[in-house]
Structure 1
């Protein structure tokens, strides 16, 4: 039987929400093993002078506990 844990992570990117998600998973995988899935809970963006300057995501990362 597998035991799974869920953590909440925030990430940002100047490129896209997808890039912010990939950056979060890459960083989390440095200290977590057996990541099973990621759920994008929320998305937002920063705007400056009428232009989007930063994409932000709030993620839930699920991983298996050994």
Structure 2
């Protein structure tokens, strides 16, 4: 019985380790997705400003 309990504890520890790895991987993927969304939004705003007649130099000046 003790061996079975020991085996189960080892298995739980292994599963917890895998969960920790997966959570870290998900956090990294979430951060990357958020960064890509920000980039897409910035590109959309830039295109809108350029389409409205603002020059690239004017846009850069506003960013300063």
Normalized against structure 1, the TM-score is what? 0.30
Task: Point out the structure with the larger helix share.
Answer: 2
User: Greater Rg, structure 1 or structure 2?
Assistant: 2
Task: Point out the structure with the larger strand share.
Answer: 1
